[in-house]
């Protein structure tokens, strides 16, 4: 029997013939299997499932369900399976544009079918704060709304909202049932205009008073010299940590320009008092202090790769490599730090298929040049983000995410020797109805690897969107 799903299992033994099941499947935990590993053996009318842990059990039962034929029979075979990487994630940006709980559940359902085990939820940014706070109501009353949608789509109407605590708990529980852990992201010290709009005194100038309607990198970042910044951030983290039981907690760290810090007496005083060599080290101080606070709460911090520029990042912090021209992440992994690969040019699903065709995503090898044997062990997995500046509605969301997320799923699960693009695209097509059943509609197959005029059309459409957004920005830019 042909296995027509993604990710491809590591090992299948065909016995030939079909059988009907006599009795319930036999389930047995086996501590000798690798994490999330399982076997499914179908022979002589019996289904025997062994599994390493809860993840393995979930995937064993999923496999059994997939092998059931429309007439109720099963092929006689054995599947032995376990993931290549321990960390397999998708990221959703709910700050730039919101999704409904139902839409997120559809994506989570599809991701579970593809065996993702982490959902990185980007919940705060310059353009909106999306977590209900009962401690700081201003985070929602002010921080969750921007004057208009912006980003080239100026219709003059206020845009925003946030996920209530009950909605967040519902999403976390829905994920847990599918062996997915949610990693919240509260981005800092940059990408915090929405936070500072609610707390202007936490900006270096004290003058940030409105949630941003612009895209791109913002000059205003949290003041690292002001003790109130840390006190407030810690109280916010207390509240957010209560909603997310997982160990990993993303604290951002990307795209934090140092212009305001360089002009700020408090930041300069902090730099001197801590004996720091420059403002990158001040970011290192900031990040390490927040990471240490999270550690007291049993959490482990995750950051974007810019946090490595300080040269002082605590070794326990997990680093997401999205754009690392200096190769800091290779050095980090080689010296014992854990790294997640989410390369901008291959895994950023908000970019058009003309720039990032499906094959390019599929063939990206997360094992970069320069990794030692230890370094390779420290690449814990892969993640693909969907940033939503230009993704306003769910049809577009699904079009951009699928099938490229299927390519990331197979890289995350299946051994490199078994990866084969032709087989992958055939199985991707065969799996589209299963994704539809989850509630997501992938881009049509003709758009997956555009060539010639189709590729140019895809690129031009994206450039037009960015151009219009930037034009709008210039008109609203108060900096
Ligand atoms: C990022 O794309 N700024 C992580
Ligand atoms: Zn400052």
- Total Cβ atoms within 10 A of residue 1: 14
pLDDT reported for residue 150? 78
Task: Find the 58 Cα to ligand 2 centroid distance in Å.
Answer: 48
Q: Read off the pLDDT band of 472 (50, 70, 90).
A: low
- Residue 116, pLDDT above cutoff 60: yes
Which residue minimizes the CA distance to atom 1 of ligand 1? 254
Dist CA 325 CA 66 (whole Å): 42
Q: Which of 251, 304, 384 most suits a substitution to test ligand 1, by most atoms within 8 Å of the C-beta?
A: 304
pLDDT reported for residue 474? 43
Tell me the average pLDDT across 232-254: 98
Spatial contact of 136 and 169, defined as CB atoms under 8 Å apart: no
Torsion of CA 229, 93, 315, 273, to 10 degrees: -20
Which residue minimizes the CA distance to atom 2 of ligand 1? 322
Atom of ligand 1 nearest to the CA of 304: 4
3-state DSSP assignment of residue 12: strand
pLDDT reported for residue 471? 61
- Residue 294, pLDDT above cutoff 70: yes
Q: State pLDDT tens for residues 403-462.
A: 999 999 999 999 999 999 999 999 999 999 999 999 999 999 999 999 999 899 989 988
Task: Find the 261 Cα to ligand 2 centroid distance in Å.
Answer: 5
Q: Which of 95, 121, 322, 324 most suits a substitution to test ligand 1, by most atoms within 8 Å of the C-beta?
A: 322
Q: Residues enclosing ligand 1, CB less than 6 A? A: 254-255, 304, 322
Residue with tokens 């814990």: 380
pLDDT reported for residue 311? 98
Dist CA 292 CA 226 (whole Å): 18
Dist CA 383 CA 180 (whole Å): 13
Task: Find the 225 Cα to ligand 2 centroid distance in Å.
Answer: 5
pLDDT reported for residue 467? 76
Sign of the CA dihedral running 55, 59, 65, 68: negative
Dist CA 217 CA 267 (whole Å): 20
Joined tokens for residue 80? 């032995």
Q: Which of 91, 127, 187, 255 most suits a substitution to test ligand 1, by most atoms within 8 Å of the C-beta?
A: 255
- Mean pLDDT estimate for the chain: 96
Task: Find the 237 Cα to ligand 1 centroid distance in Å.
Answer: 21
pLDDT reported for residue 478? 42
pLDDT reported for residue 1? 76
- Residue 27, pLDDT above cutoff 90: yes
- Residue 473, pLDDT above cutoff 90: no
The CATH architecture to which 97-470 belongs is: Alpha-Beta Barrel (3.20)
Residues within 5 A (CB) of ion ligand 2: 204, 223, 225, 264, 266-267
Tell me the average pLDDT across 131-143: 98
Q: State pLDDT tens for residues 295-348.
A: 999 999 999 999 999 999 999 999 999 999 999 999 999 999 999 999 999 999
Q: Read off the pLDDT band of 153 (50, 70, 90).
A: confident
Which residues neighbour 184 within 8 Å (Cβ) at sequence distance 6 or greater?
121, 123, 131, 240, 243, 244, 249, 250
Range with lowest mean pLDDT among 5-9, 272-276, 334-338, 474-478: 474-478
Q: What is the pTM of this model?
A: 0.97
Spatial contact of 191 and 234, defined as CB atoms under 8 Å apart: no
Closest CA to 316 of 331, 296, 334, 302: 302
CATH class of the domain whose range is 11-81: alpha beta
Q: Read off the pLDDT band of 44 (50, 70, 90).
A: very high
Which stretches of 297-402 are DSSP H helices? Answer: 328-334, 344-347, 358-363, 373-377, 394-401
Domain ranges of the chain: 11-81, 97-470
Q: Read off the pLDDT band of 476 (50, 70, 90).
A: very low
Atom of ligand 1 nearest to the CA of 252: 4
pLDDT reported for residue 343? 98
């Amino acid at each position: 029997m042909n296995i027509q799903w993604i990710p491809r299992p590591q090992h299948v033994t065909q016995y030939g013939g079909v059988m009907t099941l006599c009795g319930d499947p036999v389930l047995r935990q086996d501590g000798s299997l690798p994490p999330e590993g399982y076997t499914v053996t179908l022979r002589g009318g019996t289904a025997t499932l062994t599994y390493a842990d809860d993840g393995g059990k979930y995937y064993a039962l999923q496999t059994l369900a997939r092998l059931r034929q429309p007439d109720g029979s099963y092929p006689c075979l054995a599947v032995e399976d376990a993931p290549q990487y321990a960390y397999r994630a998708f990221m959703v940006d709910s700050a730039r544009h919101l999704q409904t709980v139902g839409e997120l559940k559809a994506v989570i359902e599809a991701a579970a079918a593809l065996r993702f085990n982490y959902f990185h939820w980007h919940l705060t940014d310059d353009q909106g704060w999306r977590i209900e706070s009962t401690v700081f109501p201003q985070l929602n009353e002010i921080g969750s709304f921007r004057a208009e949608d912006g980003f080239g789509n100026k219709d003059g109407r206020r845009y925003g909202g946030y996920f209530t605590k009950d909605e967040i708990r519902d999403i976390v529980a829905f994920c847990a049932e599918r062996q997915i852990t949610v990693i919240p992201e509260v981005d800092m010290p940059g990408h915090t205009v929405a936070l500072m709009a609610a707390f202007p005194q936490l900006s270096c100038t004290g003058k940030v008073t409105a949630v941003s309607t612009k895209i791109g990198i913002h000059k205003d970042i949290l003041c690292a010299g002001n003790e109130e910044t840390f006190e407030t951030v810690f109280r916010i983290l207390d509240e957010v940590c209560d909603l997310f039981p997982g160990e990993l907690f993303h604290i951002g760290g990307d795209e934090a320009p140092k212009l305001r810090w360089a002009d700020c007496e408090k930041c300069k005083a902090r730099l001197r008092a801590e004996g720091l060599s420059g403002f990158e080290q001040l970011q290192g101080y900031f990040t390490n202090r927040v990471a240490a606070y999270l550690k007291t709460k049993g959490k482990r911090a995750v950051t974007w790769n810019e946090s490595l520029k300080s040269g002082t990042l605590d070794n326990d912090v997990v680093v997401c490599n999205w754009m690392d021209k200096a190769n800091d992440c290779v050095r980090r992994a080689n010296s014992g730090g854990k790294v997640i690969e989410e390369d901008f040019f291959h895994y950023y699903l908000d970019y058009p298929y003309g720039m990032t065709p499906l094959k390019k995503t599929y063939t990206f090898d997360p094992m970069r040049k320069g990794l030692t044997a230890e370094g390779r062990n420290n690449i814990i997995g892969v993640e693909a983000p969907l940033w939503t500046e230009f993704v306003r509605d769910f049809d577009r969301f699904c079009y951009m995410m699928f099938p490229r997320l299927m390519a990331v799923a197979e890289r995350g699960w299946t051994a490199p020797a078994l990866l084969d693009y032709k087989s992958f695209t055939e199985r991707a097509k065969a799996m589209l109805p299963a994704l539809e059943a989850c509630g997501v509609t992938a881009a049509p197959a003709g758009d997956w690897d555009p060539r010639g005029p189709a590729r140019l059309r895809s690129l031009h459409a994206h450039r037009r969107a960015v151009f219009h957004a930037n034009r709008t920005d210039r008109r609203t830019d108060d900096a």
